[in-house]
């Protein structure tokens, strides 16, 4: 039988099953056995890491068409290095480690797809590092909102982002909740985003990243612009 990559990634079969997750449900936890990999078909997810002293940080955002838990293919008996959890409702194909490796060895189309994914993930990780090292908190927040909205995807001219809390955004930006609230409020006042049950990202938000139009300002205590929390924006 001729191998069809789309069919392989679409439905259940030997060594693979379809799973459905609600927001905040986990695919796997940090330190758990890495015995399968997930192909995210719909929805979005995030990877978080907890330090020995209990501090949690978000290290990656994941979208439909990406794999989750690629460390499971590295070695037998390995463990997951992070916790993967759903941001929005997700549908994913869980593929056993042995089955994924077998098919990659036998089918060039899958191995080629997976290699392209790894290269794209590596490039994004480098971009995330550069962003964290050299960009302001405001520009980092703008970039994260655009990534959450999968900006530039066909058919999404003014994308909506999945519901997300200000705590999670602060973790990803590497700043405080009050600063995230302040910048979100300013983006809204400048017409870069809007909200009506969900946050909608406008293409003009790209100006925050492409051009240094804005400089960071600390939220003023006792006056000035009142920050709007992300929870309020999402409601």
What's the pLDDT at 216?
47
Q: Are residues 52 and 118 in the same domain?
A: yes
Q: Are residues 116 and 161 in the same domain?
A: no
CATH number of the structural domain spanning residue 110: 2.60.120.10
CB 141 within 8 A of CB 37: no
Q: Are residues 57 and 149 in the same domain?
A: no
Q: Are residues 62 and 154 in the same domain?
A: no
Q: Which two tokens stand for residue 24?
A: 């905040």
How far from the centroid of its chain's Cα atoms is residue 1's Cα? 36
Q: Are residues 44 and 103 in the same domain?
A: yes
What's the pLDDT at 223?
42
Range of the domain at 72: 5-131
CA–CA separation, 141 vs 24, rounded Å? Answer: 21
Q: Are residues 12 and 96 in the same domain?
A: yes
What's the pLDDT at 230?
41
Q: Are residues 110 and 214 in the same domain?
A: no
Domain termination site, one of 73, 101, 131: 131
Q: Are residues 32 and 99 in the same domain?
A: yes
Domain termination site, one of 87, 110, 131: 131
pTM (predicted TM-score) = 0.76
Backbone angles phi, psi at 109, to 5 degrees: -65, -40
What's the pLDDT at 83?
97
CB 146 within 8 A of CB 160: no
What's the pLDDT at 222?
41
CATH number of the structural domain spanning residue 205: 1.10.10.10
Spell out the per-residue pLDDT of the chain, length 235, in tens: 688 999 999 888 889 999 999 999 999 999 999 999 999 999 999 999 998 998 888 888 898 999 999 999 987 888 999 999 998 899 999 999 999 999 999 999 999 999 999 999 899 888 888 887 888 899 899 988 888 887 655 555 557 887 777 888 888 888 899 999 999 999 999 899 987 667 888 888 887 777 655 544 444 444 444 444 344 444 3
What's the pLDDT at 233?
42
Q: Which residues pair with 94 in a beta bridge?
A: 17, 38
Domain termination site, one of 131, 152, 182: 131
Q: Are residues 125 and 185 in the same domain?
A: no
Q: Are residues 45 and 95 in the same domain?
A: yes
Q: Are residues 119 and 162 in the same domain?
A: no
List of E strands, 81-223:
83-86, 90-96, 193-195, 199-201
CA–CA separation, 93 vs 130, rounded Å? Answer: 32
Backbone angles phi, psi at 177, to 5 degrees: -60, -40
Domains identified in the chain, total number = 2
What's the pLDDT at 218?
45
How far from the centroid of its chain's Cα atoms is residue 208's Cα? 20
Q: Are residues 197 and 118 in the same domain?
A: no
């Amino acid at each position: 039988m001729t191998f069809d990559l789309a069919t392989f990634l679409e439905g259940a079969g030997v060594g693979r099953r379809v799973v459905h997750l609600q927001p905040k449900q986990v695919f796997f936890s940090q330190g758990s056995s890495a015995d399968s990999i997930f192909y995210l078909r719909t929805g979005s997810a995030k990877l978080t890491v907890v330090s020995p002293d209990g501090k949690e940080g978000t290290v990656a955002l994941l979208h439909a068409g990406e794999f989750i838990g690629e460390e499971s293919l590295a070695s037998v008996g390995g463990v997951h290095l992070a916790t993967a959890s759903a941001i929005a409702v997700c549908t994913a194909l869980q593929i056993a480690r042995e089955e994924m490796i077998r098919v990659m060895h036998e089918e060039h189309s899958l191995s080629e797809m997976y290699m392209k994914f790894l290269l794209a993930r590596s490039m994004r990780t480098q971009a995330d590092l550069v962003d964290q090292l050299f960009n302001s908190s405001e520009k980092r927040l703008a970039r994260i909102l655009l990534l959450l909205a999968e900006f530039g995807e066909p058919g999404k001219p003014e994308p909506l982002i999945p519901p997300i809390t200000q705590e999670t955004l602060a973790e990803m930006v590497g700043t405080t909740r009050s600063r995230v609230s302040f910048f979100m409020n300013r983006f809204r006042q400048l017409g870069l985003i809007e909200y009506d049950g969900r946050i909608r990202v406008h293409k003009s938000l790209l100006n925050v990243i492409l051009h240094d139009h804005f400089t960071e300002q600390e939220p003023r205590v006792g006056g000035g612009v009142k920050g709007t929390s992300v929870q309020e924006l999402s409601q």
